[in-house]
A and B are shown apart, each in its own frame.
Chain A
Amino acid sequence: MWGILRQKVGGATCLSPQGVGSHMLRLRPVTSALRNYSSAAKEMTVRDALNSALDEEMAADPNVFVMGEEVGEYQGAYKITKGLLDKYGPERVVDTPITEAGFAGIGVGSAYHGLRPVIEFMTFNFSMQAIDHIINSAAKSNYMSAGQINVPIVFRGPNGPAAGVGAQHSQCYAAWYGSVPGLKVLVPYSSEDARGLLKAAIRDPDPVVFLENELLYGESFPVSAEALDSSFCLPIGKAKIEREGKDITITAFSKMVGYALKAAEILKKEGISAEVINLRSIRPLDRATINVSVRKTNRLLTVEEGFPQHGVGAEICASVVEDSFGYLDAPVERIAGADVPTPYAANLERMAFPQIEDIVRAAKRACYRSGTMVATA
């Protein structure tokens, strides 16, 4: 591990000799390199998972650099880039003035010319100020240039609601970005997802939109020894069955995976065995895994925090109807956020997003176990 890391840094040509030297001196062993294969499961927060993934990819490839507001001196608005400035210097951890459109465009330009930028949006709500660059400059460039310009860029940051942050800080962009050909859209849930998918995203030659979740940053998950290895990578476009079941398929992504798993526990006590699928990837969507599951359970419930119309659930429902219509024993249940801009007042906010109880009730409806045939909000 040591040897490989050293070699890669030493081979860097874009750093000045001084830079390489100081980097060699500053090179600390990546934490994963020293974690040995013990039997006890290690726990890691999503924040540390993202941080270690960035660290390892930056160490492995000198073309990778991070850019965004507060990523350097401040250690990151949510501390995801903590320690990176000290380790890699201001040339590779770039603090920007406040202009999303500006630094997104600059990132794309640098990718055109061979660098591998990781652009951080303080929240994807602010990515809307840069969305023209994400779609028209990044997503479509490879196609429009007949393969001459590719854009190996990663746009990452927190997506969806946090807690008490109101309409302009709570929107989920999975459906928007998921509809654009040319982009890849990833939605990690656990720490293992965060590490594997971020590494895959950085190594991928295509532009990737990486949607994280602020409330998951502090959550701890067990990580396997394999996941801690610096060469660890998850395939893009493959969903994960988090929990096997036989009565109903529940698809979810990001924070909702946790909710779906808790709902599955409650449903088990009522005799319903739910299979929970962690999508991991919105585009490409793992239609195969979802359909295989529905063909087994015959019932489908989709869960997301975003707005209902034209949402991720709508796409999944259409996919299942197209591929597995004959296998459905009940109408598809779609759970999404309320069709309103997110209110701030705590009680209203709570009712604007899916709660575990909503998932349980919908699952029971799909299994013909609830007292009423009418769908409720």
Chain B
Amino acid sequence: MAIWMRKALISTAVRSLRTAFASHRNPVFISRSFGSSQQLEPFSTDDDYDDHDHESLDFPGGPVSYSCEMRFLPGSSEKRVQCYRVLDDNGYPLSSTQFQHVNKEVAVKMYSGMVTLEAMDTVIYEAQRQGRISFYMTSYGEEAINLGSAAALSSHDIVLPQYREPGVMLWRGFELQDFVNQFFGNKNDIGKGRQMPTHYGSNKHNVITVSAPLATQLPQAVGAAYSLKMDKKDACVVTYFGDGCSSEGDFHASLNFAAVMEVPIVYICRNNGWAISTPVTEQFRSDGIVVKGQAYGIPSIRVDGNDALAVYNAVAAAREMAITEQRPVLIEALTYRVGHHSTSDDSTKYRPVDEIEHWKTSRNPVSVFRKWVQRRGWWSDEQESEFRANIRKQVIHAVQVAEKTEKAPIGYMFSDVYEKLPSNLMEQEKLLRETIKRYPQDFPKDVALGI
């Protein structure tokens, strides 16, 4: 009885004091005053006015504690999310960083891959300018992302690229000649002359063929990861995309689904500052992409995309997390698109030349990594000049060979539309061959009739 009355009294007191101090809206003051009430059982009738620490709204997804303070989360925090790096601008490991060393074999393969990518870009870009191929996209400035990430993956991991990650295929053993055959669309092209340059793919190397419309690879990647999850494989899906790509609707669908379906996927965003001529400040107003990953409930990290070791370490860790915990992980690699968007673009028209120069020289991922590799005694100036001269010759040779090779044969026009060649296409092919035979003057001479 007595307890009852005491409870009733206190509840009245609680209510009156609350009303009295309501205008102050000082939660600290109010809760301090009622510290003693914590020892009592919470009143079921007074849900609205309870300040007990463990009192909260029981909402799907977990309890939500209340606040008397009307506070809007700011659109962005004062300090930007920090960027993980291992090597400084001169290739010295920052002593305080936690990182995993790579051995000599991996380091040399990574470095030579970066130089090969540079060499291929240089020669092929020139070839396009000379009119020998129709189109090309370089990866200048993003060599560390390409090779650093590729080195941290296993060959069983399924890769869905955007289009600026040929280094991943290089790492996995796609030959220079294979690349160049694709650019020329000749009969040795693994892609059967179907795709534009830089739109490659190879089942053998677990790289899904590049698709041009942006961000379509993102939900596709989640689907593939779901399949991996069902197979319980020790592998994950890795998908790449740029800063501009994150504006597409498919980006939202993909991240959201990956989190909800709990699939083993690693997202690697190449935030290179530009989407053709659109700078990131006009692409979004968030603090880059790393906070977007967090918004979807995905653990995310920002790394220095020009630091090959930082990329390597982050991807290795992310992969581990994705597979053991069966969940998505996001990596935003900050870098710079040193080259033009493609051979159809001239970026000096919309950005200052000294900005490009700055990133090309003082923040060059290839030279930073070279310094580190050389200091470890695994590379030398001699090897450098020899390797560069050699690889350039190899690319040029591959171009010469590809150019002389016959173009893709007629059969490649009709095959693979469906699993089995349907009767109407068989008919069309037959009629086309007959027409070419009958009117050879109407067709170019280099039409390969084989296959």
**Residue B33, interface by CB 8 Å:** no
Per the bound structure, the CA–CA distance linking A105 and B428 in Å amounts to 41
Give, as a whole number of angstroms, the nearest-CB distance from B418 to chain A.
Answer: 10
Per the bound structure, the CA–CA distance linking A165 and B425 in Å amounts to 22
Per the bound structure, the CA–CA distance linking A376 and B186 in Å amounts to 26
In the complex, which residues of chain B have a beta carbon less than 8 angstroms from the beta carbon of A125?
212-213
In the complex, which residues of chain A have a beta carbon less than 8 angstroms from the beta carbon of B154?
none
**Residue A222, interface by CB 8 Å:** no
The answer to whether A98 and B248 have CB atoms under 8 Å apart is yes
In the complex, which residues of chain A have a beta carbon less than 8 angstroms from the beta carbon of B215?
98
Interface of B is mostly: loop
Give, as a whole number of angstroms, the nearest-CB distance from A165 to chain B.
Answer: 6
**Residue B432, interface by CB 8 Å:** yes
A window 324-377: CB within 8 A of B: 338-341, 343-348, 350-352, 355, 357, 361, 374-377
Contact flag A343-B408 (CB < 8 Å), given A101-B249, A165-B135, A376-B435: yes
* Most A CB within 10 A of own CB, among B212, B275, B414, B447: B212
The answer to whether B446 and A347 have CB atoms under 8 Å apart is yes
A window 117-133: CB within 8 A of B: 125-126, 128-129
**Residue B448, interface by CB 8 Å:** yes
**Closest residue of A by beta carbon distance from B245:** A98
**Residue B412, interface by CB 8 Å:** yes
**Residue A11, interface by CB 8 Å:** no
Per the bound structure, the CA–CA distance linking A164 and B185 in Å amounts to 10
Per the bound structure, the CA–CA distance linking A344 and B413 in Å amounts to 10
**Residue B419, interface by CB 8 Å:** no
**Residue B193, interface by CB 8 Å:** yes
The answer to whether A166 and B431 have CB atoms under 8 Å apart is no
Give, as a whole number of angstroms, the nearest-CB distance from A365 to chain B.
Answer: 12
Contact flag A74-B350 (CB < 8 Å), given A169-B196, A345-B193: yes
The answer to whether A361 and B439 have CB atoms under 8 Å apart is yes
The 0/1 profile, CB within 8 Å of A marked 1, for residues 108-149 of chain B is: 000000000000000000000000001100000000000000
Contact flag A339-B349 (CB < 8 Å), given A169-B196, A169-B212, A351-B410: no
Contact of A166 among B194, B248, B275 (CB under 8 A): B194
B window 253-304: CB within 8 A of A: 275-278, 282-284
Contact of B413 among A77, A169, A351 (CB under 8 A): A351
Contact of A345 among B276, B412, B428, B432 (CB under 8 A): B412
In the complex, which residues of chain A have a beta carbon less than 8 angstroms from the beta carbon of B165?
none
Number of B residues near A (Cβ < 8 Å) is: 53
The 0/1 profile, CB within 8 Å of B marked 1, for residues 73-87 of chain A is: 110010000000000
**Residue B46, interface by CB 8 Å:** no
In the complex, which residues of chain B have a beta carbon less than 8 angstroms from the beta carbon of A361?
439
In the complex, which residues of chain A have a beta carbon less than 8 angstroms from the beta carbon of B448?
347
Per the bound structure, the CA–CA distance linking A102 and B248 in Å amounts to 8
**Residue B195, interface by CB 8 Å:** yes
**Closest residue of A by beta carbon distance from B185:** A345
Give, as a whole number of angstroms, the nearest-CB distance from B402 to chain A.
Answer: 12
Per the bound structure, the CA–CA distance linking A167 and B193 in Å amounts to 11
Per the bound structure, the CA–CA distance linking A375 and B432 in Å amounts to 10
Per the bound structure, the CA–CA distance linking A377 and B425 in Å amounts to 10
The answer to whether A164 and B277 have CB atoms under 8 Å apart is no
The answer to whether B277 and A345 have CB atoms under 8 Å apart is no
**Residue A31, interface by CB 8 Å:** no
Contact of A129 among B245, B248, B408 (CB under 8 A): B248
The answer to whether A377 and B408 have CB atoms under 8 Å apart is no
**Residue B199, interface by CB 8 Å:** yes
Interface, chain A (partner B; CB < 8 A)? 69-70, 73-74, 77, 95, 97-102, 125-126, 128-129, 163-169, 338-341, 343-348, 350-352, 355, 357, 361, 374-377
A-B residue pairs in contact (CB < 8 Å), sample of 8: A74-B277, A95-B278, A125-B212, A166-B212, A168-B211, A345-B186, A348-B408, A377-B435
Sample of 10 more A-B contacts, CB < 8 Å, known A98-B275, A166-B194, A346-B185: A73-B350, A99-B248, A167-B194, A167-B195, A343-B185, A345-B193, A346-B134, A346-B407, A348-B410, A376-B432
Top 4 A-B pairs ranked by shortest CB distance? A345-B193, A345-B185, A164-B134, A97-B247
